[in-house]
A and B are shown apart, each in its own frame.
Chain A
């Protein structure tokens, strides 16, 4: 398995206060890594350390499976980032801002500027000064700049901050398209569960500076699904009856005499009746499991995300 980015025991302390503690992050090639946490959880500090803007108190950052701290400059040629806010030289046009980026990245291909502005839908405003841009346009221009040098990894800190719902949807679709078409790996930090839910293939949950869990989104969904927990005297027969009578297929035998049924959640009474009329002894039936949000609440000790 190839890792684009790994951190080992990454820590940042100010005096006695630990902002980020012992953080081990593992981002695989092709992941859309949702870095989820409340405001002040340590997301931005972590990303700043990764981008070399803050010096870690302890720990290491490993880039593309090879580079450690000394190789950072070389790794940065393969990384695009927007940390917190896409800053631009407001007296310049979008094209000039990207020209500065092109120069500083040492790129030869000037046509790439038009290509990337077309990708984010700003080609018509390329000569417009950035000071006249809306926040949404600036966010898109930030993404254009991050994409200009064809990075393998995009690090985006709260990229939908300040965008309207239409803009959020547009940017989300752009990320998904880039991940699919160009195979770009993403690290997207957010305090919005809904945003991560719609994008991420892997999720890292940070709370009070600690990475509580790092998990594939599918596994997370399984963990956080709601189900009917049915306690019966014969789970194999019960499963057969559910299949035959209720066309149920999404269930698991969770243990001796226990079935977890992930469908017909609002039909507990029907399930009970069907099993009982077919001679199954039903000892108990209850709605169980977590919604994704409940799962995060449990993980973070009851602190809501938003």
Chain B
């Protein structure tokens, strides 16, 4: 299995994928930089860095960029096999198509993880400095790390949808359209801060981010979380089943 995974990673060498990861990670770092700017309160006193707020902003930006970025990443990994006409060769290996699908999805997961890690690098750096200066508690930093881990897992929930569009459309474009649509809805949802916004599968990953906002967190847990988790699970399973069916059963024709 490692060989299949490694081969999938190798396919991304010299591709624009790593630029896409950087583009996905950069805005979160810029917003972190902005949050760190010196601030003063109304009475003129200097206000320190609030790590909860830093992670909240970083998470918001990551979740905002995620739908379009991760959709394009997933769709590219699947669609390029058809566009570059390597699908004939890929399906002629003595490897089950399920393993190929699993390796591709694993690479997407790794890319999401790297994007999230890079997007949080500045926030974590600030957190470490604040820890050393004893201006923040480890518990707060851990909450930020856990939020990012949750965003990675929950963002992966919609990846099979992008993969399905990539393999059915044999192009990145249909998935990019879906990703753009999801991004617009996500941005609107995040601006609204509504509790039920996490029901939209691409916004489920906003759930752990939302928890980071202190005031909202004090309002207690979000009652929509179980339903949102159920919806995302159903979306994941249905789209994954489609991907499996498509990969295993569909004929590969000329020009595919």
Q: Which residues of A contact B (CB under 8 A)?
A: 44, 48, 51-55, 73-77, 79, 81, 83-92, 96, 99-101, 103-106, 129, 145
Contacts and interface: CB of A to CB of B under 8 A. Distances in A.
Nearest 10 A-B pairs (CB), nearest first?
A87-B85, A87-B86, A76-B94, A53-B252, A73-B94, A54-B251, A103-B7, A103-B3, A83-B88, A91-B14
B30 to A, nearest CB: 28
Contacts of A99: 10
19 contacts: A44-B254, A48-B251, A51-B91, A52-B92, A53-B91, A53-B252, A73-B96, A81-B92, A84-B88, A85-B85, A85-B88, A88-B84, A89-B11, A89-B86, A91-B13, A91-B15, A92-B11, A96-B13, A100-B11
Interface of B: 3-4, 6-7, 10-11, 13-15, 80, 84-89, 91-96, 249, 251-254
A47 B141 CA distance: 58
Contacts of B13: 91-92, 96
Contacts of A74: 94
Nearest to A130: B84
Contact of A48 (B3, B80, B252): B252
A104 B251 contact: no
A104 B13 CA distance: 17
Contacts of B86: 87-89
Residue with the greatest number of chain A CB neighbours at <10 A, chosen from B15, B84, B92, B249? B92
Contacts of B14: 91-92, 129
Nearest to B93: A104
A130 to B, nearest CB: 9
A49 to B, nearest CB: 9
Given A53-B88, A91-B14, A105 B93 contact: yes
Nearest to A85: B85
B17 to A, nearest CB: 9
B84 A89 contact: yes
A203 to B, nearest CB: 23
Nearest to B86: A87
A53 B254 CA distance: 10
A84 B4 CA distance: 24
Contacts of A75: 94
Identify whether the interface residues of B are mostly helix, strand, loop, or mixed.
Answer: loop
A245 to B, nearest CB: 58
B18 to A, nearest CB: 11
A105 B84 contact: no
A76 B93 contact: yes
Contact of A52 (B80, B87, B91): B91
Nearest to B251: A54
Given A48-B252, A83-B88, A89-B86, A96 B93 contact: no
A145 B94 CA distance: 15
A100 B94 contact: no
A87 B84 contact: yes
A84 B7 contact: no
Nearest to B2: A103
A55 B15 CA distance: 33
Contacts of B96: 73
A75 B92 CA distance: 11
Contacts of B87: 87
Contact of A103 (B10, B88, B94, B249): B10
B10 A100 contact: yes
Nearest to A107: B3
B4 A104 contact: yes
Nearest to A78: B94
Contacts of B253: 48, 54
Given A53-B92, A53-B251, 12 more contacts: A53-B252, A54-B252, A54-B253, A74-B94, A86-B89, A87-B87, A87-B88, A91-B14, A96-B10, A100-B7, A100-B10, A104-B3
Nearest to B15: A91
B212 to A, nearest CB: 38
B89 A145 contact: yes
Contacts of A48: 88, 251-253
A91 B18 CA distance: 13
A281 to B, nearest CB: 61
